[in-house]
Amino acid sequence: MSYTINAEIRTEIGKGSSRRLRHAGKVPAVIYGPGKEPVSITLLHKDIINIQLNDEFYTTDLTIVLDGKEVTVRVQDVQRHAFKPMVEHFDFKFA
Average pLDDT value for residue range 7-28 = 93
Q: Which residues pair with 9 in a beta bridge?
A: 41
How much is the pLDDT for 38? 95
Q: How far apart (Å, rounded) are the C-alpha atoms in residues 14 and 17? A: 6
pLDDT tens track for 34-83: 999 999 999 999 999 899 988 999 999 999 999 889 999 999 999 999 99
Does residue 1 surpass a pLDDT of 80? Answer: no
Whole-model pTM over 0.85: yes
